[in-house]
Chains A and B, each alone.
Chain A
Amino acid sequence: MNSHVYLYSAYAAAWIIHIVYLTTLVTRYARLKREIAELKKQ
């Protein structure tokens, strides 16, 4: 296999891992926002 395939795969994998983690943070932020809104309603 071409060495460039390995190079770009490694860089892509690194950023995919970061993006997946950042997405979980955004999801947690959204859930927390909903919970705060519900608490304010009560």
Chain B
Amino acid sequence: MTKAFPIFALLTGILLSYALYMALVGAPTEQTMGDVQRIFYYHVPSAWTAFILFFINFAASIWYLIRRNPTADIVALVTAEVGVVFCTIVLVTGPIWARPVWGIWWTWDMRLTSTLVLWLIYLSYLILRRFSSSGQTPVLAAALAVLGALCVPFVYFSIWFFRTQHPQPVMGGGGSIDPRMLHVLLINWLAFSCFAFLVCWSRYRLEKVQREVEEMQALESLRDTPRSVR
């Protein structure tokens, strides 16, 4: 696994560079919005990647609640953290795209507001994991993650059920897209998915070692404690 990491990292780097080239140069220019529409190739794949990571977080949290498996707990933590990073990108690139197209940075419509709420839920999950030292923290966090995951389909389908400023979904929502644009979109999604996997992999290893070190430190401090105190 360790040997595969640099090879996979190199391939991901090449794929990300190619995806960036295709997004900025290879994809055709949209007729109404012009070049600013190319933000789409970062905005949408980041959202899809965040949704997938939150879904893995949901599955790992359920697994942890059933089995109390530490690996599931680490997977849940890691995917939530990386998912929040991708969701942050969605919330930042969205308004930058909206300003020249809609004339406003933000509007409190259902899609935008529910995405912000989703981001806040997972941010509170991470704050809980970071600052609570109770032994029950992983269980509480897993329960919060299960509730937070319910928000994901709501965010996705909000543009189907409510009148929003946000455009219809690219796939499965009645919208149409030029096949060349779809091709570039899927390349970018693949590149971001590989990148997310790579970051999750590194973060997983870091968390595993971190927990081992904390265990060793606890044992060490126990050994240093005088017998009378024990």
* Residues of chain A whose beta carbon lies under 8 Å from any beta carbon of chain B: 1, 3-4, 6-7, 9-11, 13-14, 17-18, 21-22, 25, 28-29, 32, 35-36, 39, 42
Q: Which residues of B contact A (CB under 8 A)?
A: 20, 24, 33-36, 38-39, 42-43, 46, 82, 85, 88-89, 92-93, 96-97, 99-100, 195, 199, 202-203, 206, 209-210, 213, 216-217, 220
Complex contact B213–A25 (CB within 8 A): no
Nearest first, the 8 A-B pairs at minimum CB distance are: A3-B36, A10-B96, A10-B39, A10-B93, A14-B89, A21-B85, A13-B92, A14-B42
User: A7-B38, A10-B39 in contact; A17/B92 too (CB < 8 A)?
Assistant: yes
* B116 → A minimal CB distance (Å): 16
**What CA separation (Å) do A39 and B20 show in the bound complex?**
44
Contact of B100 among A1, A17, A21, A22 (CB under 8 A): A1
Can you offer 24 A-B residue contacts whose CB atoms are under 8 A?
A1-B100, A3-B33, A3-B35, A6-B39, A6-B96, A7-B38, A7-B39, A10-B92, A11-B20, A11-B24, A11-B42, A13-B92, A13-B96, A14-B42, A14-B89, A14-B92, A14-B93, A25-B199, A25-B206, A28-B210, A29-B206, A32-B213, A35-B217, A39-B213
